Structure 1
């Protein structure tokens, strides 16, 4: 494959930098990957292989680019804003080429921007929220005179508060439905106009306990049922009600898109076993169940609850400040 062919496959035009090439590649993969289409016909697999080959070829090239991306004007970032969010956050971007001695990412913007799957890497979005939570705690610590530059997380309690803040902030800066519609394409639209998505998921178990035995008894095509929500995860069971474990997705963003919609009763799911694999050679024994996860949207989610979340954040920070005052 030559450069001209690679550019045609990924619809890349002359002069585009590596960030744009990466964005186009990921957008095409979301639309054409066999997992997204629910089909593994040879021509589809070949198309994905060509896209991978084209992407790796183009990313090796010297593309004209700003070497120090941090010089970009921060106000050039465009995106949906949650004006009522509790705080601002940094928006980070990967450098489009290796810059020796520089961090792996730079701050492209700061504001109350919602996460956009087409513009912002999810891993960097999570880093952004961890930093935002840390900043909020540092503000409290500075007021109480307990802030230490070299070690902000002074205790297990501080770490626990930061974790709670992080999850509250995810709910302020992720619109589950909007993010889902950008991150994935429906497998089909049913006769009633409802979007049906298909995702690959899996459940793992190890040892010799009930969960391991239950997963080993599953057969291809067998149904799996949700049992309960535990934080941002779904506990699943078999037909007989035996607990299998927590459902896992290959893409972390799906936890923050799918589960909030399920909790709000805006969607329904159907799960079937795709394959069961066991490894009994070492200890502990391990089992993995590949699952076809079907997700059907039933209705729009309720109105924004930013005000309620802001109150929860205020109460959490006040409790943290009170804890510091008692030391």
Structure 2
């Protein structure tokens, strides 16, 4: 995206200052963005603007949040420009060559204003999903999210993980809505939520490249052992836990409700594992369910005595996971079958 294109989208001239850019952005977004609750004019008619909410947001980000605004200030104050537009986050391309040269962009606007998200795809995924982008007001406060692309895109670190989960919830809701429309009676909220949670969990596995995501989020313990990762974790103790001491090894016993339960060497149930990074639940647990990883778990030598007091008792643990040499490009083949089975079971309720 060029400065002139950004100003055109916002309906401003290059002479507009910071305050004018903020004011115009807020005005436009409150009229054209459906999440703002103010997309109708006082007359009750829809506010007709030739540019979409995502284009407006991209233009504002380009001018205000990147150094392009500083460029305009330099031009006004000194008559010189010391900044090039090559490395900005967004790119308004006039040719495919421009798109290929800007590898740092999260997404690009094509000549037809169609947004393209830069990520791998899983052509065998059950369905497409939306890619969302946050919308902020002029003070930087998030007040909504809008769709910037739709497809079978695999998650990467450029996509905010809560928005990835939002896309999974939306897909699961859409699938359940389609099935429920064929039923003669409605399902209770509690039952539906249980199905939606299970469906979201299954769907997410089709959009996560496990080994690549592990390397993005974690560091291998050494260059020689690039497939072994250390994860700071906790043992949520059983209500009546056995004695566990620093350095003691504990062993996986079973997976239930997407949790890994463990036991001591003597076979006494100790509790279940929790991760400090919520994203890891969508990586570690599926890998173990698919038998694509091995783990070694020890009670950490560093403990806080306060951790073992009160109702929520836990121990710090050293959790190491080793990825087994299986081709990650082949996503679990039975996921689509399991999704179909879950939807069929929903129809039988």
TM-score normalised by length of structure 1? 0.64
Cα distance per residue 1:238-284 (max 9 Å; x no partner): 23222111101111221222232233333222222223434499854
CA root-mean-square deviation: 3.4
Question: Which consecutive unaligned segments of at least 5 residues does structure 1 have?
Answer: 1-61, 148-152
The change in CA–CA distance for 1:106 and 1:71 in structure 2 (over 3 A counts) is farther
Q: Number of aligned pairs?
A: 245
Matches within 5 A, 1:289-304: 289-301=315-327, 304=330
**Take 1:281 and 1:315, find their aligned partners in 2: how far apart are those partners?**
42
CA contact (8 A) 1:261 1:301 kept: no
Partner residue in 1 for 2:285: 259
Which of 167, 172, 179 is equivalent to 2:206? 172
Cα distance per residue 1:279-305 (max 9 Å; x no partner): 499854x53210111112231257735
SS at match of 2:125: coil
CA contact (8 A) 2:251 2:264 kept: yes
The change in CA–CA distance for 1:130 and 1:254 in structure 2 (over 3 A counts) is same
SS at match of 2:65: coil
Partner residue in 2 for 1:25: none
Which of 229, 242, 249 is equivalent to 2:255? 229
**Take 1:156 and 1:258, find their aligned partners in 2: how far apart are those partners?**
27
CA contact (8 A) 1:225 1:236 kept: yes
Partner residue in 2 for 1:241: 267
**Take 1:247 and 1:98, find their aligned partners in 2: how far apart are those partners?**
42
Which of 115, 125, 131 is equivalent to 1:91? 131
Partner residue in 2 for 1:188: 222
1:65 deviation in Å?
Answer: 8.6
Is it true that 1:205 corresponds to 2:237 in the alignment?
Answer: yes
SS at match of 2:168: helix
Which of 147, 156, 172 is equivalent to 1:133? 172
Q: Which has the larger radius of gyration?
A: 2
Task: Answer 1 or 2: higher relative contact order, Cα 8 Å, separation at least 6.
Answer: 1
**Take 2:288 and 2:223, find their aligned partners in 1: how far apart are those partners?**
19
SS at match of 2:313: strand
Which of 256, 265, 277 is equivalent to 2:304? 277
SS at match of 2:253: strand
**Take 2:131 and 2:253, find their aligned partners in 1: how far apart are those partners?**
36
Larger displacement relative to structure 2 (311-320 or 226-235): 311-320
The change in CA–CA distance for 1:64 and 1:88 in structure 2 (over 3 A counts) is same
